[in-house]
Amino acid sequence: MSTQLDKNNIANPAPLGLLGFGMTTCLLNIHNAGFIPLSIVIIAMGFALGGAAQIIAGIIEFKKGNTFGATAFTAYGFFWWSLILIWINPFKGIEAADTKSMGYYLGLWCIFTLFMFIGTLKHNRTTQVVFGSLTILFILLALANFTGSELIHTIAGYVGIFCGASAIYNAMGQILNQEFDKTVIKL
């Protein structure tokens, strides 16, 4: 008897990754839109659900042989952990992030996300919306950092809330459609 699991017998990790991404993205962008301050609530969500849950989902996607899902969830999970490290700057003697550095950081994530969006053209429409709106979000956040524009930052917040909500919708659709074995939520 084999001790290895058949990759088809492993549950779909995408809803976990999408919820981790979506809920954390919504919460951070509620802050970016100006509704709440940056607090430990956002940092804890980013560490646990945005970071750890997505990394776990990504590792399971690797096991299932899904390169796209593995790359997306693992990379964005580590994005959240890197962002938290930038915010809290636990390294003594290392200069805190400035807006120019943050602009480049977010710009690189934009480029990565744009290429991932191209990959979604083989996926369902909802996944395309998630990655398309995330590309726009990273462009806006990079521009807000490069220009210092609070207006662009606030607009980015609203785009981010939409992006996160679309990921939550995608996750709920995958869960409910599988549970009921029919299309309950159109993706």
**Tens digits of residue pLDDT in 26-39:** 999 999 999 999 99
Whether 21 maps to a domain, the answer reads yes
Average pLDDT over residues 55-74: 97
Q: Is residue 187 part of a domain?
A: no
CA separation for the pair 175, 160 (Å, rounded): 23
Entry pTM: 0.93
Could you tell me if residue 138 is inside a domain? yes
In whole angstroms, give the CA distance from residue 79 to residue 10. 25
CB atoms within 10 A of CB 21: 29
CA–CA dist 164, 16 (Å, integer): 13
CA terminus-to-terminus distance, the chain: 38
Q: What is the pLDDT of residue 1?
A: 44
Query: Helix H segments across the chain?
Result: 14-32, 40-45, 54-64, 67-88, 99-120, 125-147, 150-180
65/8 Cα distance (integer angstroms): 10
Q: Identify whether the C-beta of residue 26 lies closer than 8 Å to the C-beta of residue 42.
A: no
Separation of alpha carbons 61 and 72, rounded Å: 10
Domain residue limits at 65 = 12-180
Q: What is the pLDDT of residues 133-183, one digit of tens each?
A: 999 999 999 999 999 999 999 999 999 999 999 999 999 999 999 999 999
- Name the band, by pLDDT with cuts 50, 70 and 90, for residue 109: very high
The count of structural domains within the chain is: 1
